[in-house]
Amino acid sequence: MLAHIPSALGKAEVTRLRDALGAAEWEDGASTAGASKIAKRNSQTPPDSDLSRKLGAMAASALLASPAFVSAAIPLRIFPPLFERYEVGDRYDPHVDNAVRGDAMTGARIRVDLAATLLLSDPEEYDGGHLIVEDIFGSREFKAQAGDVVLFSAGSLNMVTPVTRGVRLSSFIWLQSMIQSDEARDLVCDLDAAIQDLAPRIGGDDPDMRKLATVYHNLIRIWGEA
Amino acid sequence: MLICIPEVLTRQQVAFFRETMANAPWEDGRATAGSQSSLVKNNLQLPQDGAAARELGEHVLEALANSPTFVSAALPHRIFPPLFNRYGVGHGFGLHVDNAIRGVPGTSIRIRTDLSCTLFLSEAEEYDGGELVIEDRVGRQEVKLAAGDLVLYPSTSLHFVREVTRGERVASFFWMQSMVRDNVARALLFDLDQTIQSLSARLGAGDPACVKLTGIYHNLIRTWAEV
């Protein structure tokens, strides 16, 4: 899975998050980096702070309101989103995200199937800071608009190139999907896209549409964990 | 999933089958029955290594390969060499389940019987009784088809052939291992394929949604198939 979801968050939501982040404390981003501590150089909001929690909840509910995000991720559990800041010289060298994450406050653990980066800065605001994700078809580079989400398999090697001007703000999100297998999840997402394409053309109540909807739900029944 | 497929054999083919079978020697049907089913099986069969069964079996396999509906519904991996049976008055086959694994005689090939198939070779009017009755948890399905039609059903079901009380019923029957073992997954693939066929006829096979759905179909097969 590698998806670029434009405008997952609207401009107003992005502005609200950025305004609130103006008052945030920042700590060394290495605190959540596991073994890839040395690779990571940036700042992030402390995971346990009230502001992190509040803004994280806002970001998570905005993502869950995005049909494109839900269709691609088929989310089961979302780890409280954190916010990060890359200033000049900051970077995150190639790494793979941890497989399992425990939330220190609740003890809840998730299997990290997918990682998402929600951009909060527009590309004009900074130089460098490209997100690069290694996928089965090769390496892809993203420099997306504020409000866009890049969703990728947490098992993919990923990096953020050094920022050479300005500041890059983003939120990063780990989640467990109802469908663990990338291949199976992609297939279900593709089926949904075909259904969304056909519905306005032949009518949602067409017998073929009902059959495709049945296939969609039965695939989730076969593969889904709830 | 139980599915009936009409006209797998043409009238001419059925006539040829009937003539060949009329001139062939028959043996007790218990030759291929398992220990439980041999107690309830009472019919005649063409010897499975005999010339008639071999020749007609080849024709059946060819007809199956030419039936897109059969291929889509069964997704066959290996088909057991078709057998042929004959039920006269007083013959029947009591309630039984087919053996899970069948060895193909004279070879080292073994087949897991995922699906069972009966290809009717007598017209329904030629005999009374002789219905294939398939039981599931909610009840029974009775199947009596025209000559040349077939019924395909999961081998996991208990089934029987009701006693023939008039005339004679001849049929071909065989088992197969599907590329997709799971009945639910296989039924889903069949539904998806039928929907793609319908949409392609309406929108054109080159329509982007049809192309996408075709890709999904093949990727599901890639996910589930054993070959």
In tens, the pLDDT along A89-142 reads: 999 999 988 899 887 777 889 999 999 999 999 999 999 999 999 987 889 999
For the stretch A13-34, pLDDT in tens is 999 999 999 989 999 998 777 7
Predicted pLDDT at B136: 79
Residue to substitute from A195, A218, A220, A223, interface B, most B β-carbons within 10 A: A218
Q: Per-residue pLDDT for B32 more than 90?
A: no
pLDDT, tens only, B167-220? 999 999 999 999 999 999 999 999 999 999 999 999 998 999 999 999 999 999
Give me the pLDDT at residue B35, please: 83
CA distance A216 to chain B (A): 9
Q: Domain A2-177 adopts which CATH fold?
A: Jelly Rolls (2.60.120)
**In the prediction, which pLDDT does A7 show?**
95
pLDDT of residue A9: 94
- For the domain with range B183-224, which CATH number is right: 1.10.3470, 4.10.860, 2.60.40, 1.10.287? 4.10.860
Chain B residue numbers touching A219 (CB-CB < 8 A): 188, 220
Alpha-carbon distance B106 to nearest alpha carbon in chain A (angstroms): 39
Q: Is the dihedral of CA B65, B68, B69, B71 positive or negative?
A: positive
For residue range A157-174, what is the model confidence (pLDDT) as tens digits?
A: 999 999 999 999 999 999
Which CATH architecture fits B3-178?
A: Sandwich (2.60)
Percent share of chain A, pLDDT over 70: 99
B79-120, pLDDT tens digit by residue? 999 999 999 999 999 999 888 999 998 899 999 999 999 999
What is the per-residue pLDDT for B36?
A: 85
Closest residue in chain B to residue A196, using alpha carbons only: B209
Report domain extents, chain B.
3-178, 183-224
Q: What is the pLDDT of residue B25?
A: 96
What share of chain B has pLDDT > 90, as a percent?
Answer: 89
ipTM above 0.95, yes or no: no
How far is the C-alpha of A6 from the C-alpha of B142, rounded, in Å? Answer: 55
> CB–CB of A219 and B203 under 8 A?
no
- The yes-or-no verdict on residue B11 having pLDDT over 80 is yes
Nearest to B192 among A190, A201, A215 (CB): A215
Within 53-72 of B, beta carbons closer than 8 Å to A belong to none
**Which among A144, A167, A143, A156 has a CA at the least distance from the CA of A94?**
A156
The pLDDT value recorded for residue B12 is 97
Contact indicator for B176, B111 with CB cutoff of 8 Å = yes
Residues of chain B contacting residue A191, judged by C-beta atoms under 8 Å apart: 213, 216
Instruction: Tell me the shortest Cα–Cα distance from B194 to chain A, in angstroms.
Output: 9
Q: Is B202 on the interface with A (CB under 8 A)?
A: yes
Q: How far apart are the first and last CA of chain B?
A: 22
Q: Which residues of B touch A194 (CB under 8 A)?
A: 209, 212-213, 216
